[in-house]
Amino acid sequence: MSKSLLVKEFYKSIQGESSYAGIPCGFIRLSGCPLRCRWCDTVYGFKGGETLTIDEIIENVKEWDVPMVELTGGEPLAQENAYELLDRLCKEGYRVLLETSGSICIQKVPEQTHIIMDLKCPDSKMSEHNLFTNLDHLKPTDEIKFVVASRSDLDWTQMIVHEYKLDQRFQLLVSPAWGLVDPKNLVEWMLELKINARLNLQIHKYIWGPKAKSV
């Protein structure tokens, strides 16, 4: 019998972030998250949703007729059956992206999955939940994202990048926390600190506005 997951929403749009920004993508947003980041833009995903079997989720995905699918949240790995869903999506031939907070072990994530993992900066108020052992399970093609809410967050980012030699091991993304950091200032700081990372703007918010859902 197919296992089930609590799904908050399905939608088809473009990928708004990461190295895949601008590419058509289907999104599966699972409900629930153990973290409460200060700048969270998906608070509505903490609760509610519809319980669906993995077979039912796959059928919904097939209706989109797109080659790339992202599993996101909340924190999708907070639901144990998410690993099986990722495996099924990979076996169906999709390019599968996983957006995860980095607070839950990613060791069981299928190798074919492209992981976009946050490392929580101090201003998120959740940095103590960073599970740095996850770095041992990332592939060189995976991405690490830092959401920066202040100059001190970027100073912390620089320290972590150097300590773990992240810019030599993975693709790095630096995002301005919406409404808290001007992207122009972030660019100046990145150049000043010589951060070897990609500026990661949430282009869906520029297209549809910061409060739009399912985009």
Domains of the chain: 4-208 (3.20.20.70)
Tell me: cis bond preceding 74? Omega within 30 of 0 counts: yes
Q: What is the per-residue pLDDT across 175-206, written as a single tens digit (0 to 9) for each?
A: 999 999 999 999 999 999 999 999 999 999 99
Q: What is the per-residue pLDDT across 145-156, written as a single tens digit (0 to 9) for each?
A: 999 999 999 999
- Residue 20 φ then ψ, to 5°: -100, 10
H or E, element range at 160: helix 151-164
pLDDT reading at 72 higher than 80: yes
pTM as predicted:
0.95
Residue 161: which pLDDT band, with cuts at 50, 70 and 90? very high
Cβ-count burial 132-165 (b if 16+ within 10 Å, e if not): eebbebbeeebbbbbbbbbeebbebbbebbeeee
pLDDT reading at 1 higher than 80: no
